[in-house]
A and B are shown apart, each in its own frame.
Chain A
Amino acid sequence: MQIIRHAKIVSDHWTHVADGPIPSEGCISVSFARWKNQRTELLSRVDDLGLRVSSEDPIEEVTEDLDRFQMIGLDFPVFTDGRLFSVARTLRDHYGYQGEIRAMGGFIRDQIFFLSRVGVDSFEMEEGSDLDGALSALDDFSVSYQISSEVRN
């Protein structure tokens, strides 16, 4: 599928694994719970690993492991749940996480500007979304009052 990464529309190479078997090859993301339960098995894989975090997951418990993830997906249960905005900022500014932070799940286009300001650098919209419109939302504002954790390149 197509996603927005670093302010461009690009093809995605990640597979989000739910409860099924873990593929031996390819870039996959797993849920927070699965990472906690199958850490050793997941670490034995060669290809890139991503972590999907929901609003209630205590990221403080995996801070030692952050450099093992090439991608952290912030999985919005609903777009009005703003906890993951603070999670993104904490990952970037507190833990110094430099990998990809992806918004996924229930977020909407009107949040993209704010999400990019707190450090989210890729956006996986619902299938069939207007990606050009979403891309333009990155530039809803040319000015801001606050400090930024933005990553565009």
Chain B
Amino acid sequence: MYQYNEVDQALVEQRVAQFRDQTRRFLDGNLTEDQFRPLRLMNGLYLQTHAPMLRIAIPYGLLSSEQLRMLAQITREYDKGYAHFTTRQNIQLNWPALERVPDILADLASVQMHAIQTSGNCIRNVTSDPLAGIAADELEDPRPYCEIIRQWSTLHPEFAFLPRKFKIAVSGASSDRAATQVHDIGLHLVQSSRGETGFEVLVGGGLGRTPIIGQVIRPFLEKKHLISYLEAILRVYNRLGRRDNKYRARIKITVRETGLDKFRELVEAEWIRIRGSMEVEVERYEEMRAYFSMPAYKEAAEPHQALQENQNQDAEFATWLRYNTTEHKVPGYSAVYLSLKAPDAPPGDITESQLDTVATLADQYSFGQVRTTHRQNLVLADVRQSELFDLWQKLVSLNLATPNIGTLHDMICCPGLDFCSLANAGSIEIAAEINKVFDDIDYLQDLGDIKINISGCMNGCGHQSVGHIGILGVDKKGVEWYQITLGGSSHNEAAIGKRLGPAVSKAKLVDTLSRILHVYTDNRTTDEPFLDTVNRIGIQPFKERVYANH
């Protein structure tokens, strides 16, 4: 993975010093709350319902075991011994004290980490495919490009005070595991008709109150122009984006109000002007690629036989293998999902002791690295198949082996009313209730791939509008109600879910889900996944069943 040089290290250390000074001036009364707010947000610090929340960057979701241990130590020393992984591959602390945040940042800097631009109206942490570099369907590893984008966007002097937040995701595979179509900019590595690799550039996707799927602004961009093209989009957006209404300030609205063709014209005019002076040299890409070269894989020594025996002997292992591991481009290896969706734990949460043990397992089984995923799980990407049985046993004792990746239990869930000052309704308790009621593992496996996404308010941190089933918490005169959508997706066939009908009360939510699932099982053809059934039969049959006796 990428290793900081002296420049990178100096930059994060100087940012710590700057933030320490800003915090001190705020506490001394020399910075007003209004002045401090954007400055602290730009460093991932929110002031929340109970305490500050600090969001720490995990660039494109890649962590070393050393970094995991530091995160474990930080949650012990400054927080309550647990942390929460986000949909953008970052990690959040829920209980740090404001005056100790500079110390947390200093500890992070000691392991090449930071919280720069994890919030605020600036370019956020760049995200990517959790299976980058190992996926069989990959054209090229996107991480070298992610790191170049990370550096370009970090403390970019011109784009620190944008109209609104700005998120970039990069995918190098044919299957989109990075939700690129719902990002402000989505980049896909693609091949031109001449066999050259470059980027398809999407712009104007986003969730929140007005979910919109991104559109292609440029079908093919030569790699050398990556940074100049991003810079051109940002410059046009910075000047054109609305500042009068924060709900109309994202680039998705700028593109919609300007029109894609006109917006493209403006971007390309700027790009043509600046591209000559901003080319990324081939050597720079090569240098960056070297940081993400393949680890020293061992020759596969007939792993399948032992694996088969273990599966035959242990049905639980076989189930876990089916749901929580995925294929690796190198024979004899698998990628392993560590489920952070145990039925008795808040989705995406992890304890300090789990963090420590995962670091040990990463060292032991997966070249000392861990990835975080958009769906709030972890991945050990390079595990020998012959060691899967050992690893599984250890994960079971850690409560990280629930065989539910891709099932109904693998929910995306925001922190909701329990932690967030924006939320209108609880979300963690809804996830817990769903887990409790739908607890028959055979039923879950029969239902197959169903993505439930839950947000406690319309800001949409839980990505409800692109859930196969989306659940949105709304406040009706002080009472929590839930709006349901069906048919959303952030995968290749990206779509915004359709509203089922009037919101349902908390008491009726699980019954409503149950009815939805029955419509599916009654109507599906053999092996037809939930989303396909919804798309085929439409929303009406679901509507009829749900609102029949309500």
Contacts and interface: CB of A to CB of B under 8 A. Distances in A.
B35 A83 contact: no
15 contacts: A80-B121, A80-B161, A82-B161, A82-B238, A83-B239, A83-B243, A86-B158, A86-B235, A87-B239, A90-B235, A93-B274, A140-B14, A141-B18, A143-B10, A145-B152
Contact of B162 (A82, A93, A118, A147): A82
A55 interface: yes
Interface in B4-46: 7, 10-11, 14-15, 18, 22, 31, 35, 38-39
Given A85-B157, A85-B161, A94-B273, 20 more contacts: A79-B38, A80-B161, A81-B243, A85-B158, A85-B238, A86-B158, A86-B239, A89-B235, A110-B18, A110-B35, A114-B157, A141-B15, A143-B14, A144-B11, A145-B152, A145-B154, A145-B155, A145-B156, A147-B277, A148-B157
B159 interface: yes
Contact-residue size bin, chain B (C-beta under 8 Å from the other chain)? 20 to 34
Contacts of A94: 273
B160 A82 contact: yes
A55 B161 contact: no
A25 B43 CA distance: 48
Given A85-B238, A86-B239, A94-B273, A146 B157 contact: yes
Interface string B128-171: 00000000000000000000000110111111111100000000
A79 B161 contact: yes
A35 interface: no
A117 B14 contact: no
A57 to B, nearest CB: 11
Given A79-B161, A89-B158, A118-B157, A141 B14 contact: yes
B18 A140 contact: yes
Interface in B180-203: none
A80 B158 contact: no
B345 interface: no
A82 B242 CA distance: 11
10 tightest A-B contacts by CB? A82-B161, A117-B157, A114-B157, A145-B151, A85-B158, A86-B238, A143-B7, A143-B10, A141-B14, A143-B11
B158 A118 contact: yes
Contacts of A87: 239
By secondary structure, the B interface counts as: helix
A32 interface: no
A153 interface: no
A142 interface: yes
Contacts of A115: 157
Interface string B202-217: 0000000000000000
B278 interface: yes
Interface in A108-147: 108, 110-111, 113-115, 117-118, 140-147
Interface in B213-258: 235, 238-239, 243
Contacts of A141: 11, 14-15, 18, 155
Contact-residue size bin, chain A (C-beta under 8 Å from the other chain)? 20 to 34
Given A94-B273, A146-B157, A83 B152 contact: no
Contact of B22 (A80, A110, A117, A118): A110
Nearest to B150: A145
Nearest to B241: A83
A108 B38 CA distance: 12
Contacts of A113: 157
Contacts of A90: 235
A86 B238 CA distance: 7
Nearest to A139: B14
Interface string B271-283: 0011001100000
B251 to A, nearest CB: 14
Contacts of B39: 110
B36 to A, nearest CB: 9
A93 to B, nearest CB: 8
Nearest to B243: A81
Given A89-B158, A146-B157, A147-B278, A83 B14 contact: no
Interface string A59-93: 00000000000000000000111110111011001
Contacts of A142: 10, 14
Contacts of B14: 140-143
Given A79-B35, A80-B38, A147-B277, A114 B158 contact: yes
